[in-house]
C-alpha cells in the first residue's frame, strides 16, 4: 500500500504524539511505500526550525528525508488536481493542503493526516487515514 504523509501527520510523529504511533506502524511495514509532497518538506522544516531554534532543524529534516526517499514534486497536473479537489470540498481547503491532497490522489496514495480541513475532502475523491 502507498501512503502520502501530510505535514500534520509528520509533525505528530516527530512530536511523539499518541497518533504518531500509527505513522510509526506504517513506517515499520516493509510492504508500505511512503511518499511526501515537496511542499511538506518546506512546511515541516519551517515548523521544526520554530520548535528547535538551536540550529538542529536541518539535521532533523535530513534524518527524516533519509527515511522517506520519495518526494513528490508539485507539477502542473497536481496543481490542476488541487484546484479540482478544492472546488469539490464543502468547506475551504487551504492551498498547501490542497496541493498535498492532490499529490496523494495523483499517485494513488492514501493521505495520512490529522487535519480537520483534509477530512472535509469527500471520500469518493480521495482515500484517507485520519489521525484526528
Q: Which of 2, 107, 115 is CA-nearest to residue 130? A: 115
The pLDDT score that the predictor gives to residue 132 is 65
pLDDT per position as a tens digit, 31-63: 999 999 999 999 999 999 999 888 899 999 999
Please provide residue 127's backbone torsions phi and psi, each rounded to the nearest 5 degrees: -75, 135
Judged against a pLDDT cut of 90, whether residue 6 lies above it is answered with yes
Judged against a pLDDT cut of 80, whether residue 20 lies above it is answered with no
pTM equals: 0.92
pLDDT per position as a tens digit, 80-127: 999 999 999 999 999 999 999 999 999 999 999 998 889 899 999 999
Domains with residue ranges and CATH for the chain: 2-130 (3.40.50.1010)
Amino acid at each position: 500500500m502507498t501512503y502520502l504523509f501530510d505535514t500534520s501527520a509528520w509533525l505528530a510523529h516527530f512530536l511523539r504524539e499518541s497518533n504518531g504511533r500509527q505513522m510509526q506502524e506504517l513506517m515499520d511495514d516493509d510492504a508500505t511505500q511512503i511518499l511526501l509532497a515537496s511542499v511538506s518538506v518546506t512546511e515541516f522544516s519551517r515548523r521544526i526550525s520554530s520548535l528547535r531554534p538551536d540550529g538542529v532543524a536541518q539535521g532533523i529534516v535530513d534524518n527524516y528525508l533519509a527515511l522517506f526517499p520519495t518526494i513528490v514534486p508539485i507539477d502542473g497536473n497536481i496543481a490542476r488536481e488541487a484546484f479540482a479537489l478544492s472546488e469539490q470540498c464543502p468547506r475551504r481547503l487551504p492551498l498547501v493542503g490542497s496541493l498535498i491532497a492532490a499529490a496523494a490522489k495523483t499517485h494513488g496514495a492514501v493521505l495520512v493526516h490529522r487535519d480537520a480541513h483534509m477530512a472535509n475532502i469527500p471520500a469518493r475523491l480521495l482515500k484517507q487515514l485520519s489521525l484526528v
